[in-house]
């Protein structure tokens, strides 16, 4: 899996152009997360793709040619910290509540909303942790589940905006 981080000007239509580049070439985006950075005028797009190294290199070159793209880096090839957020609504009763809470505690998840017959659980972690949690919680009455795309930063002192033309 490749994690591509893209710094872009925060303008309408930029995300559409970035995603369009992938769809025009028939490449699948496995996850996508977008948000503003420490500067409101710049957004960071984090994409995960399962394509081969050559294809990813070609995509990065094409992304660098787009208007409003400031910097592109395959940070999956570097030492990084990556996280996802999961929200899941689970139905429960007196027979299943303790088992669900045991899973929540084991994964250091949080119950962020509770009603008479359901609760919403929040979990952050790497993709493997999220997948393991989902595999266990699916044994119960999962009513809804949503997960963000992966967000990632390279470890160390270097920032994405410091890279000069590297792929």
Task: Give the torsion through C-alpha atoms of 102, 85, 132, 80, to 10 deg.
Answer: -130
Give the domain ranges of the chain.
2-80+153-162, 81-147
Cβ atoms of residues 60 and 167 within 8 Å? yes
**Domains 2-80+153-162 and 81-147 equal at CATH topology level:** yes
Q: What CATH class has 2-80+153-162?
A: alpha beta
Per-10-residue mean pLDDT of the chain, 167 residues long, equals 93 94 90 93 93 88 93 88 96 96 98 97 96 98 95 87 54
**Which pLDDT tens digit goes with each residue over 29-45?**
999 999 999 999 999 99
Q: What CATH class has 81-147?
A: alpha beta
Prediction pTM value? 0.84
**Which pLDDT tens digit goes with each residue over 56-67?**
899 999 999 999
- What CA–CA distances, in Å, run from 52 to 5, 40, 107? 17, 33, 33
């Amino acid at each position: 899996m490749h994690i591509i981080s893209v710094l872009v000007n925060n303008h309408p239509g930029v995300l559409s152009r970035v995603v369009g580049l992938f769809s025009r070439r028939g490449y699948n985006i496995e996850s996508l997360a977008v948000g503003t950075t420490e500067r409101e005028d710049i957004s960071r797009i984090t994409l995960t793709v399962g394509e081969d190294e050559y294809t990813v290199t070609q995509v990065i070159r094409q992304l660098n040619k787009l208007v409003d793209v400031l910097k592109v880096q395959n940070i999956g090839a570097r030492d990084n910290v990556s996280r996802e957020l999961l929200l899941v609504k689970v139905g429960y009763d007196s027979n299943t509540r303790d088992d669900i809470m045991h899973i929540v505690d084991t994964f250091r998840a949080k119950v962020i909303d509770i009603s008479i017959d359901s609760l919403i659980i929040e979990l952050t972690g790497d993709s493997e942790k999220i997948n393991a949690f989902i595999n266990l919680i699916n044994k119960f009455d999962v009513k809804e589940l949503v997960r963000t795309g992966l967000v990632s930063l390279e470890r160390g002192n270097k920032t994405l905006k410091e890279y000069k033309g590297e792929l």
